[in-house]
Amino acid sequence: MSAHGFTRRGWILFAVMSFVWGITYLFIKEAVDSFSPPAVVAGRTLLGGLVLLPFALRSGALKAAWKHWPWVLAFGAVEMAGPFLLLSHAETRLPSGMTGLLVATVPLFAVLIGMMRGDRSALAPVRLGGLLLGFAGVAIVVAGPGLFPQGTGSVIAIGEILLTALLYAIAPFIIAHKLADVPSLGTITLALFAIGLAYLPVALLTQHELPTLRSTVSLGLLGVVCTAFAFVAFFALIREVGPVRAPLFTYVNPVVAILLGAVVLAEPVTLGLLVGFPVVLLGCWLAATGGRLRPPASLDAGTPDLTTGPVVTVETAGPVVRPDVDR
């Protein structure tokens, strides 16, 4: 990665994650229409793990990840077990667009965690201003009338999403600081199977109705696109731009979520969305780049294959591992 901003590759991964995890909320909303929340978690994780398993076995990445299983399970708990269930349950009460908006608080939690770890780079005036501007853009979108639901259940659901945002902010630090020497593909595959198998008994006990075709297709897309493919891209983004900058794509996710919710589910589109969208994008760019039009020369040391192992590159905040996923 560059020392002070996103590389071109970083922006490509950023765009992929902005879209792929933006459509996740729509698929979850559709899936929980006839699947129980535990069934959604078990289904998407087991399906995602099955998609990645042949590649992880062939490369030996799964064997390498097993040697670090405590931290792999910790990552799975923080990034998958908790958030997947919380999101699925919350979306039984919240619109998909609102869920995406609340998850946009992830970068602020990431900055606080980074500061607690001694990283002061996010406090640079332009980057900090970008974070605040991005959050203000989310607030502008939220200010649109009719977007917030009412009732105690909705308040609990909002709390579930904020807890999810905190967990999502913690996960990149586990990847960057505890799993940096573990092939990403092995970590993802092992974590998916562990969480999926843990939730499977609960899923079987709580699934009381025959799933609809629409929910089943949505769950399949959740597993293949929004889980298996998305996590490979997510690891690459963390190791390209660092654990503080990586969650910035959650500022764009709400826009994708709200637009799809409006088109597919007839959820409300407000003037606040139209005004807040460019504010969110501007804030995201400033927070990611510090206002630089072009990043300085990259400090890359190489571009190894994702499945075979990492190469460590050095930046001002410490070592970050980069897998190659875009060739």
pLDDT band at 131 (very low <50, low <70, confident <90, very high): confident
Is position 2 within any domain? no
Is position 317 within any domain? yes
Torsion of CA 134, 135, 136, 142, to 10 degrees: 120
Domain that holds residue 313: 8-322
Q: Give the chain's length.
A: 327
Is position 1 within any domain? no
pLDDT for res 148 = 56
- Number of domains observed in the structure of the chain: 1
Q: What is the pLDDT of residues 218-253, one digit of tens each?
A: 999 999 999 999 999 988 888 888 877 777 787 788
Q: What is the pLDDT of residues 52-97, one digit of tens each?
A: 999 999 999 999 999 999 999 999 999 999 999 999 999 988 888 8
Is position 150 within any domain? yes
| pTM given for the model | 0.76
